[in-house]
Structure 1
């Protein structure tokens, strides 16, 4: 394909990289890659991607100081907005928020969506151990729902020790995505805010494979039912970043609603050869469920981001 919309593409502007390095932080032990707009455009040309919707990856912008996090979020979002202004068909952006500063996050979400016209916001799967069903998020969900905002959930390092030789993105990130998705549904966020459109990274972690097991959450949350849990889990959208494989696509396509699977590359964190292997399998896949999802490359994303629609 030559016209993909990539909803899982990252950026690392200079100011953000400097903040990471000064704080001695990485994305869960994963090496921090090089990035610039020219390299992003070259990758997109090579991979048949027309538009990349950019976002900041883990660990986000909050490194311990609320004021510094607010400033960094504003700088990064202003930078992204300028990229989109200069090339609106080439780039989109999810605004980053200074969580776990919840007041600052609400203010920046409102500014980014109303003034910068961001395509949505990115939330990490947990903010210092607080998952997306936590009541502290409720004012933020209220503002996002009022704008029918698209929310991109990117995994973060969970509050557990890494296993030796296994950086969090390899193993813990899919777990944390799954954990926060179920937390969000079991605690009624979709029930209170049905207008939300939420994309889960990396095919939702383990969610499609184990969704019927998770329906058991209704036994411990009296305001829910097994059917309600499954219905809530099916409200999610899913991207294919590093997840288009023979063992994952059948499960994803069996669970997701039509139009709810979107293309993702995970550039620049995913090595080119690894990313290319998943892309080749996605392009060639004709197994179970393939006929239900002819829109993965573009049309599903156009429905979420009408400004990117071409016809």
Structure 2
């Protein structure tokens, strides 16, 4: 979601694009129209990169509260159509813990959204241990969206095309390498865009961890399989075989990436997902599981 209050805050900071794409128009009515066109009953919404911490900690706290409160009102008005991943103003850990408590205790959010890295600090690094412990304690669903890499962009390669995939993969790697997913078994982490490179490279990454720390490769691979994966921009005949072969059958969720992905792109990848599943019936996850049932288990309110 890109509410007007958020766009105004980005404009004040001179931010006119995210991931190499111009900030698109958004409102609830347009979201519902897109959902109706694609037969989507409910969308669990979130703010994307660059998140709510735009440099000033006090501003970030205030902006997060205002946006999360407005998001909760949207869900209150249409609880059948909208869900809520609350924003968290990391890298300010204390403010992040306050936002998580407010989102859970007062707003009854369906989960939270975190960026793969917050101003250069990645999920999985020790600085965010208190946040991950609190999310585990509260048993909240965590949606991870990539952000700008903490490195200069390469001319001619828009960040959304390749850097975002690496950013997600880096976060997943550190969450596994540093034992975060092992220490916090209640964490249910959804990686966007089919997990970046994770399904394709998990065994290679596990080899590196085995050589580095003497860990059992099978255990490392299993840690990568604890993640949930959405299908945003990934309903293609090359991405889906790897995702379906690697992820647990009940850990794959439909995703659209709208409005950064325009409606025509949502249609392309949604049709690709439906066509692939229809042509490859068998032990892999079914359309009902990916399109609804797996998400219903994560979000009991929406069942």
The TM-score by the shorter chain falls in which range?
over 0.9
For residue 55 of structure 1, report the CA deviation from its aligned partner.
0.2
How many Å separate the matches in 1 of 2:92 and 2:281?
A: 41
For residue 27 of structure 1, report the CA deviation from its aligned partner.
1.2
Task: Please point out which of 84, 91, 94 is paired with 1:100.
Answer: 91
How many Å separate the matches in 1 of 2:300 and 2:40?
A: 17
The superposition leaves residues 101-144 of structure 1 with CA deviations (integer Å, 9 ceiling, x where unpaired) of: 11100111111011100000000000111111111111111111
Partner of 2:206: 215
Partner of 1:147: 138
The answer to whether structure 1 residue 124 and structure 2 residue 115 are counterparts is: yes
For residue 166 of structure 1, report the CA deviation from its aligned partner.
2.1
Q: Is the 8 A contact 1:106 1:140 kept in 2?
A: yes
Q: List gaps (5 residues or longer) in structure 2.
A: none
Partner of 1:4: none
Task: Please point out which of 2, 16, 21 is paired with 2:11.
Answer: 21
For residue 209 of structure 1, report the CA deviation from its aligned partner.
0.8
Counterparts in 2 of 1:226-241, with a 5 A limit?
Answer: 226-241=217-232
The answer to whether structure 1 residue 293 and structure 2 residue 285 are counterparts is: yes
What secondary structure sits across from 1:169 in the alignment?
coil
For residue 289 of structure 1, report the CA deviation from its aligned partner.
7.5
How many Å separate the matches in 2 of 1:178 and 1:221?
A: 18
TM-score, normalised with respect to structure 2: 0.96
The answer to whether structure 1 residue 64 and structure 2 residue 58 are counterparts is: no
Counterparts in 2 of 1:1-311, with a 5 A limit?
Answer: 11-25=1-15, 26-219=17-210, 221-222=212-213, 224-286=215-277, 291-294=283-286, 295-309=289-303
For residue 275 of structure 1, report the CA deviation from its aligned partner.
1.5
For residue 189 of structure 1, report the CA deviation from its aligned partner.
0.4
What secondary structure sits across from 2:237 in the alignment?
coil
Q: Is the 8 A contact 1:217 1:229 kept in 2?
A: no
Q: Is the 8 A contact 1:77 1:95 kept in 2?
A: yes
How many Å separate the matches in 2 of 1:69 and 1:214?
A: 35
The root-mean-square deviation of aligned C-alpha atoms, in Å, is: 1.3
How many Å separate the matches in 2 of 1:107 and 1:216?
A: 38
Q: Is the 8 A contact 1:186 1:221 kept in 2?
A: no
What secondary structure sits across from 2:142 in the alignment?
strand
What secondary structure sits across from 2:18 in the alignment?
coil
Greater helix fraction, Structure 1 or Structure 2: 2
For residue 164 of structure 1, report the CA deviation from its aligned partner.
1.6
The superposition leaves residues 269-299 of structure 1 with CA deviations (integer Å, 9 ceiling, x where unpaired) of: 1022121111111111145576421100000
Q: Is the 8 A contact 1:151 1:198 kept in 2?
A: yes
What secondary structure sits across from 1:59 in the alignment?
coil
For residue 167 of structure 1, report the CA deviation from its aligned partner.
1.7
Highest RCO, 1 vs 2 (Cα 8 Å, sep ≥ 6)? 1
TM-score, normalised with respect to structure 1: 0.93
For residue 165 of structure 1, report the CA deviation from its aligned partner.
2.6
CA gap 1:227/1:41 in 2 versus in 1, 3 angstroms: same
